Structure 1
Amino acid sequence: MPHDHSHAHGQSHGHHHHIDPEAGDMRVGLAVAVNVLLTVAQIVGGLLSGSVALIADAIHNLSDAASLAIAFFARKIARRPTDAQMTFGYKRVELVAALINLTTLIVIGLYLAYEGIMRFFEPPEVAGWLVIIVAGVALVVDAITALLTWRMAKDSANIRAAFLHNVADALGSVAVIIVGILIVAFDWHLADPIATLGIAGYIIWMGLAELKGVARILMLGAPPGLDAEEVVSAMEEVQGVENIHHVHLWQISEDVTSLEAHVVVTDENWPDASGVKAAVKSTLHERFGIGHVTLDMEGADCPCEGAQRIGGAR
């Protein structure tokens, strides 16, 4: 059966090609380069000035560059054509990359939470102005990276995961600037652990929320917003359909939804089983935006014994 990629699942259909792949690669590549350059500059500055804050910030930016690099290579691999090893194609590598980046993001969030709690007991000496300047430079780079990837992040879990690393870093920079000002102006050292815990909580919450969607696709879950029962009922309303069973509904990638099912055709419509099949496919495409459909047509006299309606053996 022909695999028509234009029949992507309804929710994301028609809005996931804003930026052509090469221009997208250019943007992500540029974001990696900007972060690597900043990392090198901060390490050199840190070594020359003896500032641990600068070197710590350099490591933050290196993690940004790494997450963007993972996203960049995943994008490249995802566009490879289908082959004998990967009969579904390579699109899912973007979800694997997102899984890696979101997991590391949550780990960073947990580490920040630990840091925040420890700072309540032992507030570190914060050299206000130096920290403000360092964070200001980092924030500019974070803003450039965010602008480069923002539009793409809306349509890709892969880019979104790398973008969230960047957002986490930008939030850190903003908090450091505010904390630095509070410490310089009011000598309020508790601002540091409070801000750290706030950001840690936000990062963990964002990471877990995004991870849920990625895990759902990797676990072959039905697309959010599509009720399998409703889809099956719509198929059973097609004239000539006795019943539907062994239904599997899943997403191959974020924008490609697939369905397979056994369709029992009534006796009087069995001579036109191909017409019934075409009608079922048409209903699935028009009502639900499902374009990848595999149907096993069965006569009413020989349906599967004790078949499950949704799922079950093939």
Structure 2
Amino acid sequence: MNTHSHNHDTESIGDRRLGFAIAINMLLTLAQVVGGILSGSLSLIADALHNFSDAASLLIAWVARKIGRQPADHFRTFGYKRAEVIATLINLVTLVLVGLYLAYEALWRIYEPQIIEGWMVVIVAAIALVIDLATAFLTFTMSKHSMNIRAAFLHNVSDALASLGVIVAGTLILLYEWYWSDTLITLLIAAYVLYQAATMLPKTIHILMQGTPEGIVIDDVITAMQQVTNVINVHHVHIWQLDEHQNALEAHVLLSDYSQLDKVKGELKTALAQKFSIGHSTLEFEIKECKYDQC
């Protein structure tokens, strides 16, 4: 099996996993809405909306994956891979909003403790926890290699923690009337959600702002390029990420001998690829002390 076929099979498996995760989250949302209406539990309906946001985050990630595979065209000459970075930003921003909302709810309950409406809410939360863990399991492996899927994965982890919080706090309240446990657990979950979002947001924004890839120092790149024979100077260097996995560079290269252009260009591109994982490079060559019409 060639690499292209293997990648295609991996992508197909990933799409099926995401599709299944979206489906079970939508079914859970529907079940919670019905359960909330029948039991008169507002908290169940609120949790249904939370699960719907998880399904939406997975759908955004799935659509972005589809768009990201589109080949480059005359509208998007670098291709569409940044669709996944944009989807990551959308999901991370909503994750921050979820974290802030959880913190707000937790602090508000200090003044107005929420009464858990019987064991039914705890049981439904347990079912939701199972679904959330199943969804997280489906996306965990994919999240290691894609910030887009990682952001959606964090949505599901946050929801799983929220469901776990309902079970623990609800049980403690029903058995011992420890209302403070609800506030404490919710604040801990909110802190975790905000921390995870804060660790990913800077990297996502850095890519969209065309920042230098993490782990690459421009001076090191220039030094490595200037070590190639016949290269006198390298300037006007720009390095950025096309997407999460592809680095790009453009630079001006001053040569001492223009007759060695093809050899120098090959050596530069090899050095950039091997030392800095820069697969896309655009080099403009100049000759030392040339006349204007020869440069």
Question: What range is the shorter-chain TM-score in?
Answer: over 0.9
Alignment of 1:117-266 (within 5 A): 117-127=107-117, 129-266=119-256
Confirm whether residue 20 of structure 1 aligns to residue 17 of structure 2: no
- Partner amino acid for 2:97? V
| 2:238 aligned counterpart, secondary structure | strand
Contact residue 235 and residue 283 of structure 1 kept, 8 A: yes
- Partner amino acid for 1:271? S
Q: For 2:35, which of 17, 26, 45 is the aligned residue?
A: 45
- Partner amino acid for 1:104? T
Partner of residue 293, structure 1: 281
Partner of residue 62, structure 1: 52
Partner of residue 102, structure 1: 92
Contact residue 41 and residue 117 of structure 2 kept, 8 A: no
| 1:86 aligned counterpart, secondary structure | coil
Q: TM-score, normalised by structure 2?
A: 0.93
Relative to its length, the structure with more helix (as a share) is: 2
1:294–1:242 CA distance, 2 compared to 1 (3 A): same
Shift of 1:17: 5.2
Q: Distance in 1 between matches of 2:282 and 2:291?
A: 17
Q: How many residues align?
A: 288
| 1:30 aligned counterpart, secondary structure | helix
Greater relative contact order (Cα < 8 A, sep 6+): 1
Contact residue 128 and residue 183 of structure 1 kept, 8 A: no
Shift of 1:130: 2.4
State, as a whole percentage, how many aligned pairs show the same letter.
51
Identify the range of structure 1 (238-247 vs 46-55) with the bigger mean alpha-carbon deviation: 46-55
- Partner amino acid for 2:267? A
Partner of residue 277, structure 1: 265
Contact residue 128 and residue 181 of structure 1 kept, 8 A: no
Shift of 1:169: 0.2
| 1:114 aligned counterpart, secondary structure | helix
Identify the range of structure 1 (178-187 vs 142-151) with the bigger mean alpha-carbon deviation: 178-187
Q: TM-score, normalised by structure 1?
A: 0.88
Q: Structure 1: 5+ residue runs without aligned partners?
A: 1-5, 7-15, 305-314
Contact residue 116 and residue 174 of structure 2 kept, 8 A: no
Shift of 1:163: 0.7
1:303–1:208 CA distance, 2 compared to 1 (3 A): farther
RMSD, aligned α-carbons? 1.8
1:198–1:128 CA distance, 2 compared to 1 (3 A): farther
Q: Distance in 1 between matches of 2:214 and 2:291?
A: 30
Q: Structure 2: 5+ residue runs without aligned partners?
A: none
